[in-house]
Amino acid sequence: MSDAHTDAPDDLTGRALALAGAGEWPEVVRLLAGPAAGIGGTSELQLLRAEALTRVGDARAASAWLREIIPALVSRGDRASHRRALNLLGAANFYLGQLEEASDAFAAALEMASEEDDLLIFARATNNLGMIENLRGHHESALGHYRLAVPTYQRLGQRRGLAESYHNIAITYRDIGSLSEADEYERRAIDYAAEGIAPRVAAMGMIGRAEIALRRGDPQFARGTAERAAAELERLHDPVNEADAHRLTASAEAALGRFGDAERAFDRALGIARTGGHALIEAEALRDRAHTYLKQGRRADARRDADAAVALFGRLGATREVEALRAAVE
């Protein structure tokens, strides 16, 4: 089998698309590491490389690569690739906690998609802007974005997009305390992602259901569900959401009084989040570990984690998280 240095661009694109379709994102990263997919490569190869870097959790590399290729996309007038690149740049910056940059990139992608009737990028960018609004505590605005994305995905017959939107709607309902509605939307997300259509989103729905169960006082169900999600996400090479699953496992273990197991799971979640620079996952893990330390009477440790989490949440504009955490440790 020839390598990336000797493949013709069409052959290389075909191989990369096949690997991406199979969810083999680490293989896509390795395949596209050569010069054929570099700054002089085709738009499709460049975007596949960016998406692969994001999928394997290397948001820093993805953001840097996208900033490098976007000027070339603009100069050659490739507007379709440009708006895809902007949406990917927004996703990478979201993971890194650079929300102003993320919001600007999503808004620019949305504007281009609206001008040129690109319904898929319109739905994706709208959905992504809803995530930022929710994180900032603007829940009605977030739901408004999702209500635009859902019918667009329905029109396109895009089940994966619908699953992602339903999962995000579930998060918003969970954040405002409507746990029954949240659980119903997570079930919808899992249903739309089922049968191999979007296994990553199905696992994210499992994490969501684990968090809902924990808030309802069922740590046993939460732990088992989060552990299954973590194993699935590890198999799918999705470190960002795997870290989130370990965070839920840790919180469930703490609720069951298994503090040693909780500590190990928190360490795993934080290790993955910090390696990839994923600010939101790190902040949530630190917040939850601070609460676990408070349960054990370890106030100095709780304050250390709380201070670090407050700094991250503050950078993300999550003011309600900051206020709640400060109140908990005071």
CATH class in words for 118-197: mainly alpha
Tokens found for residue 178 = 């409507």
Checking if the pLDDT of 27 tops 80, the result is yes
In angstroms, rounded to a whole number, what is the distance separating the alpha carbons of residues 282 and 207?
16
What is the pLDDT at residue 7?
A: 47
Tell if the pTM clears 0.85, that is, is over it: yes
Query: Residues 184-232: pLDDT tens digits?
Result: 999 999 999 998 899 999 999 999 999 999 999 999 999 999 999 999 9
How far apart CA 180 and CA 68 sit, in angstroms, is 45
Domain 1-99 and domain 118-197, same fold? Reply is: yes
Beta-carbon contacts of 88 under 8 Å, excluding residues fewer than 6 positions away, are 47, 50, 51, 54, 62, 66
Contact indicator for 129, 144 with CB cutoff of 8 Å: no
Please tell me the distance from the alpha carbon of residue 296 to that of residue 218, in angstroms, as a whole number.
20
Is pLDDT at 125 greater than 80 in this prediction?
yes
Would the pLDDT of 8 be above 70? no
How many Å apart are CA 169 and CA 187, to the nearest integer?
11
Q: Comparing C-alpha atoms, which of 218, 223, 267 is closest to residue 245? A: 223
Q: How far apart are the first and last CA of the chain?
A: 62
The whole-angstrom separation of Cα 220 and Cα 202 is 20
Please compute the mean of the pLDDT values over residues 299-320 and round it to a whole number.
95
Q: Mind listing the pLDDT tens digit for each residue in 57-110?
A: 999 999 999 999 999 999 999 999 999 999 999 999 999 999 999 999 999 999
Mean pLDDT of the region 133-146 = 97
Fold of the 1-99 domain? 1.25.40
Q: What's residue 330's pLDDT?
A: 82
* pLDDT given at position 122: 98
> In the chain, what percentage of residues exceed pLDDT 90?
90
- What percent of the chain clears pLDDT 70, i.e. is strictly above it? 97
The rounded mean pLDDT for the chain is 94
CA distance 166 to 97: 23
Question: Are 149 and 161 contacting, i.e. CB atoms less than 8 angstroms apart?
Answer: yes
| Closest to 146 (Cα-Cα) out of 125, 120, 121, 160 | 125
Q: Where do the domains of the chain lie? A: 1-99, 118-197, 206-271, 280-330
In whole angstroms, what is the distance from residue 120 CA to residue 308 CA? 37
**pLDDT score of 301 more than 60:** yes
The C-alpha atoms of residue 137 and residue 130 are separated, in whole angstroms, by: 11
The model's confidence at residue 5, banded by pLDDT at 50, 70 and 90, is very low
User: In this predicted structure, what is the pLDDT of residue 11?
Assistant: 86
Tens-place pLDDT, residues 40-58: 788 999 999 999 999 999 9
Q: For residue 104, what pLDDT is reported?
A: 98
Q: What is the mean pLDDT of residues 268-290?
A: 96
Structural contact between residues 37 and 49, judged by C-beta atoms closer than 8 angstroms: yes
Please determine, looking at this structure, whether the domain spanning 206-271 carries the CATH number 1.25.40.
yes
Six-digit token pair at 272? 């993955």
Predicted pLDDT of residue 258: 98
